[in-house]
Amino acid sequence: MEQYKRYFTRQKEYKLTTTTNSLWPFYQGWDNYQQHLLQAIRPLTDEQLNLRVAPQQRTVHEITAHIVGARAGWFHLHLGEGDATMEDLSHWDDEDAPIRSTKELLHGLEATWAMIEDCLKRWNPASLNDNYIRTRDGEHRPITRQWIIWHVLEHDLNHGGELFLTLGTHGHWVPDL
């Protein structure tokens, strides 16, 4: 127990000694996760995108398209970021959306990540409290920029885990997180 006490005591001694005008330092690591997603998808054939862990679960394609769609939806449709291509990407996980190729999925992950990274480098800590209205099922609810960023990050982690589980179950490479 004493070793943990020393660890936490030492941690308290470190203070943020610089100020930042960017959110990027607070979200570093997300970029590494993005690379893991790309590494997992890149070697797959279009046929392998149909893998799933069980009949009622999503395919690799559906999981990846869902990650792309959520990123574009939250950052473009709710926050107004990105260009017109984000509008199309935000619908990749719609029920009637076409099946995308490995190349297209990689492009979707790269394009949405470039938008997110650009935002995190431009936005400052004070902007985390900026308010937006989320309308869902006719209900209007205020949300903050911080909530949206966290929601997209947790969404990436959740569905990335689903993707890695699916690929690992079928013997494909997955990152050692």
Query: What is the tens place of the pLDDT at every residue in 123-177?
Result: 999 999 999 999 989 999 999 999 999 999 999 999 999 999 999 999 999 998 8
Q: Does residue 7 fall inside a structural domain?
A: no
CB 116 within 8 A of CB 71: yes
C-beta atoms surrounding 170 within 10 Å: 12
Q: Does residue 1 fall inside a structural domain?
A: no
The maximal CA–CA distance of the chain, rounded, in angstroms, is: 58
Taking CA atoms, 26 is separated from 7, 10, 64, 113, 123, in Å, by 22, 20, 25, 16, 11
What pTM was computed for the model?
0.88
pLDDT of 15 reads 45
Q: Does residue 34 fall inside a structural domain?
A: no
Query: What is the tens place of the pLDDT at every residue in 71-121?
Result: 999 999 999 999 999 999 999 999 999 999 999 999 999 999 999 999 999
Helix (H, G, I), strand (E, B) or coil at 24: helix
CATH number at residue 75: 1.20.120.450
Q: Is the pLDDT at 2 greater than 50, yes or no?
A: yes
Q: Which amino acid is at 175?
A: P
Structural domain span for residue 138: 39-169
